[in-house]
A and B are shown apart, each in its own frame.
Chain A
Amino acid sequence: QLQESGPGLVRPSESLSLTCNVSGGSINSSTYYWGWIRQSPGKGLEWIGSIYHSGRVYYTPSLKSRLTISMDMSENRVSLKLNSVTAADTGFYYCARQGHGSGSDKWGQGILVTVSS
């Protein structure tokens, strides 16, 4: 199971920090990437970044300068930090398990983050 957590409200220009706690399997697995996907209200899905067990990270180009994804093997969790947020960063944020060649087969329930003063 995957479970996102973090603040539901973030002020503009501040940082958004989320955690994805993974249970039922280790994130230290060569079988999977661990990704973050977001969805603005009423809009489509946007992949924003992923991390591999080696620590290698992959970011969508449009967010690369503001985004950091990391993993904590001891706590079996993946984290996301997005700097200098604006209202455009408001939306549901999902973490997902991404298999090699097999799509994203496990998802968290998602967390709504609102950027507002």
Chain B
Amino acid sequence: DIQMTQSPSTLAASVGDRLTITCRASQSISNWLAWYQQKPGKAPKLLIYKASNLETGVPPRFSGSGSGTEFTLTISSLQPDDFASYYCQQYYTLWTFGQGTKVEIK
């Protein structure tokens, strides 16, 4: 099984901050990685696919990078709507989610 490890698990930030969330795979997954945003009581929303491709309609302040085993999600300037939980997911072999990162207001 491929394990996905996200860090940090919680992040306190302010509007306007630049944020980086890291996701590590237990083995190489090439660039078969997606990032999702989830707000309380809602289904996850796809932000990034194939590590760095922005899903249609997602603001360009979101970006993804990485390949192999290390990946990052960056929010260039945090907006009030961005306080949520974020998950990475590999789909190189089956599908596995990271444990999530909760972005809270500082």
* Chain A residues with CB below 8 A from B97, complex form: 37, 44-47
**How many residues of chain A get a CB closer than 8 Å to chain B's CBs?**
23
Selecting from B20-28, B65-73, B74-82, B88-96, the interface stretch reads: B88-96
A107 partner, pick from B44, B50, B89, beta carbons under 8 A: B44
Tell me the nearest residue of chain A to B99, going by C-beta. Answer: A44
A84 interfacial contact with B, CB 8 Å: no
- Contacts A103-B34, A110-B43 known; A98 to B91 CB distance under 8 Å? yes
- Contacts A35-B95, A47-B94, A110-B43 known; A104 to B100 CB distance under 8 Å? no
* Chain B residues with CB below 8 A from A60, complex form: 94
A102 interfacial contact with B, CB 8 Å: yes
Contact with B along A104-117 (1 / 0, CB 8 A): 11011110000000
Interface residues on B, range: 20 to 34
* Chain B residues with CB below 8 A from A25, complex form: none
A46 CA to B100 CA in the complex, in Å? 11
Give the total number of A-B pairs whose CB atoms are below 8 A apart: 63
Interface centre among B36, B48, B95, B97 (most CB of A within 10 A): B95
Cβ-defined contact, B55 with A105, below 8 A: yes
* Chain A residues with CB below 8 A from B96, complex form: 47
Interface centre among A45, A96, A110 (most CB of B within 10 A): A45
A48 CA to B46 CA in the complex, in Å? 18
Measured CB to CB, the closest approach of chain B to A52, in angstroms, equals 12
Cβ-defined contact, B95 with A101, below 8 A: no
Cβ-defined contact, B49 with A45, below 8 A: no
* Chain B residues with CB below 8 A from A101, complex form: 32, 49-50, 91
Closest 5 CB pairs of A and B: A103-B34, A103-B49, A107-B43, A47-B95, A44-B100
